[in-house]
């Protein structure tokens, strides 16, 4: 076994793999597996080595230089991991179109590799077959087949005609939005008056447990006819999903991220991405998720079962982003710690919660009758 820089993987041959990178010639062939790999690279690269199953690499011979920490393979080839290699290459091309010379001296993240030395070509083939046999559980497909996602799809299309969410693992990600992500965003906007859960684990659940958000949504669907609390959560998720998506996109691309030195103070590409003009055009979910959680303070239920998000005119998005960056620096500019810290979510709620309280007091004063003279 070896822990390698991700850069060491990109040039390996895949002749012994049962299939090459299936999205190499058509991006439409990318599936949930590819999206999951990419998501880990973008949001939690430090955990890639533990989240990803790694690589199986074949070689007919091997030489190990312990002092120089160099392994030289003869006829090296990836047996298992071509899809992961393809996603790493894709990420490098997008982030470093002019080459990776600036990364030559540092590993963007690490991968685990099992090196199998066997000069027998036929045995290598048998090993490749064994390593590439798997039957993953496809929960999106199950939820879609059972009708759990129908109302969510209808809600999105009422707000955005033609908009599609993934109803199956085989739905093209380029044509259908990731349902898990949509439910993550919606879960963040859900106030404790609906979730009935103000625990630390609930605050970070959306970031840490995307699959759980889908599982819970399906559970609420099944229980909504007999459980009032489940129905309330289900109805909220269905109704607020379009709002949650718009809110996420608003914060992800807000111009106020520019000038905060997030790019300069973190490993390039890890917390944000810039366009060719140097403007930030994408920010990691680890920064956006706590903001979305804070926006739940602005969610109101004007009439029973009808929710909306109402931000007071005095609310300043620029101030919200500045506070978020301050919290980010407080966790050593580590996206993983940022997204997983309940304290960060609590701290960012203070600003909107204070505004809500102030506006409530102002309105109460306006509604109060003057004292009798």
Q: Are residues 124 and 183 in the same domain?
A: no
Inside any domain, residue 79: yes
Q: Are residues 217 and 88 in the same domain?
A: no
Q: Does residue 373 fall inside a structural domain?
A: no
Domain co-membership, 166 together with 288:
yes
Q: Label the pairing between strands 272-274 and 110-117.
A: unpaired
Res 92 pLDDT > 90: no
Asked whether residue 27 carries a pLDDT value surpassing 60, the answer given is: yes
Please indicate, yes or no, whether residues 89 and 161 belong to a single structural domain of this protein.
no
**37 or 132, which is more confident?**
37
Assess if residue 369 is contained within a domain: no
Q: How many residues does the chain have?
A: 373
- Domain range for 108: 2-131
Same domain for 101 and 212: no
Question: Domain end: 104, 131, 158, which one?
Answer: 131
Q: 140 vs 186, which has greater pLDDT? A: 186
Residue 192: the pLDDT is 95
Please indicate, yes or no, if residue 219 is contained in any of the structural domains: yes
211 and 75, same structural domain? no
Considering the domain architecture, whether residues 32 and 175 belong to the same structural domain is answered as no
- Strand positions, DSSP E, 8-100: 55-59, 61-65, 70-74, 77-80
Q: Answer yes or no: is 194 within a domain.
A: yes
> Is the domain of 97 the same as that of 153?
no
Q: Say whether 333 sits in a helix, a strand or coil.
A: coil
Based on the fold, state whether residues 223 and 104 are members of the same structural domain.
no
- Per-residue confidence (pLDDT) for residue 134, from 0 to 100: 46
Q: Treating both helix axes as pointing N-terminal to C-terminal, what angle do 342-367 and 285-295 enclose, rounded to 10 degrees?
A: 30
Question: Is the pLDDT assigned to residue 106 strictly greater than 80?
Answer: no
Q: Specify which of 33-37, 254-258, 363-367 reaches the highest per-range mean pLDDT.
A: 254-258
Residues 64 and 46 in one domain: yes
* Domain-located, residue 184: yes
pLDDT at 267: 67
131, 154, 172 — which closes off a domain? 131
Q: Each residue of 216-243: pLDDT tens digit?
A: 999 999 999 999 999 999 999 999 999 9
Q: Cα–Cα distance between 46 and 43 in angstroms, integer?
A: 9
CA angle centred on 240, ends 222 and 342, rounded to 5°: 90
- pLDDT digits over 240-265, tens only? 999 999 999 999 999 999 999 998 88
Pairing assessment for the beta strands 272-274 and 2-5 based on DSSP bridges: unpaired
**Among candidate residues 19, 125, 16, 22, the one with its CA nearest the CA of residue 76:** 16
| This prediction's pTM | 0.66
Helix (H) and strand (E) counts in the chain: 16, 10
Which residue has 């998005």 as its token pair? 317
What DSSP letter does each residue of 6-19 carry, written as one string? Answer: GGGTTT-B-TTSSS
Same domain, 169 and 238: yes
State the average pLDDT for the chain.
88
pLDDT digit string, tens, across residues 166-218: 998 778 888 999 999 999 999 999 999 999 999 999 999 999 988 899 999 99
Question: What does the pLDDT average to over 53-60?
Answer: 88
Q: Give the containing element (helix H, strand E) for 283.
A: strand 280-283
- Give the pair of three-digit tokens for residue 164: 């599609």
pLDDT recorded at residue 136: 43
Residue 372 placed within a domain? no
Give me the number of domains the chain comprises.
2
The pLDDT tens digits for 63-72 are: 988 888 888 9
For strands 299-303 and 70-74, give the pairing.
Answer: unpaired
Domain end, chosen from 98, 131, 164, is at 131
Residue 208 lies in a domain: yes
Half-sphere exposure of 39 (CA within 13 A, CB side): 17
User: What is the predicted pLDDT for the residue at 137?
Assistant: 39
CB 117 within 8 A of CB 60: yes
In a shared domain, residues 222 and 257: yes
């Amino acid at each position: 076994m070896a822990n390698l820089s991700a850069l060491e993987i990109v040039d390996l041959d895949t002749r012994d793999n049962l299939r090459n990178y299936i999205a190499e010639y058509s991006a439409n062939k990318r599936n949930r597996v590819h999206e999951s790999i990419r998501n880990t690279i973008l949001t939690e690269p430090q955990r890639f080595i533990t989240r990803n199953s790694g690589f199986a690499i074949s070689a007919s011979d091997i030489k190990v230089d312990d002092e120089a920490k160099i392994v030289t393979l003869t006829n090296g080839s990836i047996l298992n991991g071509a899809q992961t290699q393809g996603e790493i290459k894709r990420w490098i091309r997008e982030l470093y179109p002019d080459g990776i010379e600036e990364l030559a001296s540092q590993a963007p993240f690490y991968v685990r590799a099992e090196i199998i030395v066997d000069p027998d070509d036929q045995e290598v083939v048998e090993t490749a077959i064994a390593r590439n046999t798997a039957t993953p559980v496809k929960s999106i497909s199950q939820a879609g087949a059972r009708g759990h996602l129908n109302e969510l799809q209808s809600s999105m299309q009422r707000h955005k005609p033609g908009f599609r969410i993934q109803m199956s693992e085989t739905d093209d990600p380029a044509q259908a939005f990731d349902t898990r992500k949509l439910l993550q965003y919606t879960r963040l906007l859900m106030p404790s008056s609906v979730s009935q859960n103000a625990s630390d684990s609930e605050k970070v659940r959306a970031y840490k447990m995307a699959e759980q958000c889908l599982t819970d949504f399906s559970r609420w669907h099944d229980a909504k006819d007999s459980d009032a609390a489940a129905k309330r959560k289900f109805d909220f998720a269905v109704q607020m999903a379009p709002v949650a998506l718009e809110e996420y996109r608003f914060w992800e691309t807000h111009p106020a991220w520019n000038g905060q030195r997030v790019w300069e103070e973190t490993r390039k590409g890890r917390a944000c991405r810039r366009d060719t003009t140097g403007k930030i055009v994408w920010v990691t979910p680890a920064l956006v998720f706590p903001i979305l959680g804070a926006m739940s303070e602005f969610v109101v239920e004007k009439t029973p079962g009808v929710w909306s998000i109402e931000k007071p005119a005095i609310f300043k998005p620029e101030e919200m982003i500045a506070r978020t960056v301050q919290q980010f620096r407080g966790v050593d500019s580590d996206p993983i710690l940022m997204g997983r810290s309940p304290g960060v979510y609590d701290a960012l709620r203070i600003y909107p919660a204070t505004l809500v309280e102030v506006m409530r007091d102002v309105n109460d004063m306006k509604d109060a009758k003057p004292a009798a003279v």
